[in-house]
Structure 1
């Protein structure tokens, strides 16, 4: 698809991460599929609103999911197609959850970690003890671990920045 290649070229020009690129391409493909293969330059605010309302009402997605899809479509029209989308008047917003997510207790967390087998257990302990993101934990190299200072150097983490993280006991 020519539109997907244009999207990928724009994303790479803006130096976005590979995961961001995958997410953007995923949502654009969902949008095109929802409208039976119709090309985005031929669609406007009505089609965008219909897709986002489908996500919120029929598929009952989370508000953050609908917001992500909205941001992707705004990116597509502004940065790739260089088109202006009029105000989305009939957009139904997905509802935010009314309850807070539950958090595992210390005992539940330790029980969960005990049931993991190596090397997945080590990764789980790193995620829990140091606050690393999954891809950060999976990309740690030996030279990134400083046992004397008890820290891990996270290379090219979120936002492509290097940062130190705690090395848990």
Structure 2
């Protein structure tokens, strides 16, 4: 079978459009995020194009091996990009084509060496915040205060804030896991004032007929009207109304990751910090600074939402780079 022919693995799938449609359907049933859905579709699309260009069968493990090798050797992609492509194609085989790739799963995953995460010092974090104001500063402070992933801040709902306990409920984090983490006491009043302004926007949206927000896991069908309630409103909504790519409804989504990343770059630029850093560096810094203060590593693991303490252990190595280092023999001369 050539790339131009349809696979006979699944009779109802007849070509690339049907494959993409079926894959979207399964991803949504499995409650994958919209971003993951888009990424997987994009990666599979690239794989199918490669197979078609080279007249290869899309449902043969050998085609996958050749494609991943082409990415690594000809396109020189990063290990993370290679693995992301493989994960998407693996999903295609298992869930759409209903075919096993055999031992390719172990052989085709790129292995990269252990790397220490980039971390800011406490003074650097303070300098970044001091050069920002308003919502930009508040968003980054909340990420640092609770060790949040950028997506977790973006999707934070008003009802997920525990004011009395000074904590946040992170819903559907990485691996679709829930957890609690910290809300800095210093952020309580700024966050309250911010939400007062957000509530006015929400009320205006309701009056305009666009105040219903997206609800996960089909909750909009189970609880009709819940998407219009204040508790489900995003704590950091988008400045604009846009069409929901899944339902087609006009609504206010959450703030975009690009908005938060731009704020971070601006804060670093104004603070004169030239080292590599991103919004995620604040999460690394949160973990490292807690450990430096003597917080138990198991507690840090829980706050970060790591499955294994081994993942959290990487920050103990970072601490050594920030602590008292031995003097260079050159300086002893």
Normalised TM-score (structure 2):
0.44
Per the TM alignment, residue 4 of structure 1 is displaced from its structure 2 partner at its CA by 0.5
CA spacing shift, 1:143–1:66, aligned 2, 3 Å: same
2:132 is the counterpart of 1:116: yes
Please report the RMSD computed on the Cα atoms of aligned residues, expressed in angstroms: 2.9
Aligned to 2:122: 106
Q: 1:131 to 1:106 in 2, by over 3 A?
A: same
Per-residue deviation at 1:94?
4.2
Give the direction of change, closer, same or farther, for the CA distance of 1:148–1:57 in structure 2 (3 Å limit). Answer: same
Q: Which runs of 5+ in 1 are unaligned?
A: none
Residue number in structure 2 paired with 1:66? 82
Label 1:153 to 1:36 Cα distance change in 2 as closer, same or farther (>3 A): same
Alignment of 1:1-150 (within 5 A): 1-36=17-52, 42-85=58-101, 87-88=103-104, 94=110, 96-97=112-113, 99-150=115-166
Superposed CA offset, 1:113-155 (max 9, x none): 3333431211111111101222221233333322221112223
Q: 1:155 and 1:71, CA in 2 relative to 1: closer, same or farther beyond 3 A? A: closer
The 1:9–1:41 alpha-carbon spacing in structure 2 relative to 1, beyond 3 Å, is farther
51-60 or 37-46, larger mean C-alpha shift: 37-46
Deviates more, 1:25-34 or 1:112-121: 112-121
Preserved CA contact (<8 Å) 2:146 2:181: yes
What are the ranges of 5 or more consecutive residues in structure 2 without an aligned counterpart? 1-16, 186-333
3-state SS in 2 of match to 1:136: helix
Secondary structure class of the residue paired with 1:84: coil
> Contact between 2:129 and 2:137, CA under 8 Å: does it hold in 1?
yes
Aligned counterparts of 2:51 and 2:124: Cα–Cα separation in 1: 45
Work out whether residues 143 and 149 of structure 2, in 8 Å CA contact, stay in contact via their aligned partners in 1: yes
Would the aligned equivalents of 1:154 and 1:164 in 2 still touch at CA under 8 Å? yes
Q: Hey, what's the Cα distance between the residues in 2 that align with 1:39 and 1:20?
A: 28
Q: Deviations over 1:50-96 (max 9, x none)?
A: 221122223332323212211221211121011233554xx676451
The 2-side partners of 1:37 and 1:66 are apart by 20
> Could you say if the C-alpha distance between residues 39 and 160 of structure 1 is closer, same or farther in structure 2, counting changes exceeding 3 Å?
farther
Q: How many residues align?
A: 168
Partner of 2:134: helix, strand, or coil?
A: coil
Q: Is the 8 A contact 1:78 1:84 kept in 2?
A: yes
TM-score by length of 1: 0.79
Q: What CA distance in whole angstroms lies between the structure 2 residues aligned with 1:59 and 1:38? A: 16
- Whether the aligned pair in 2 keeps the contact of 1:113 and 1:125 (CA below 8 Å) is yes
Larger radius of gyration: 2
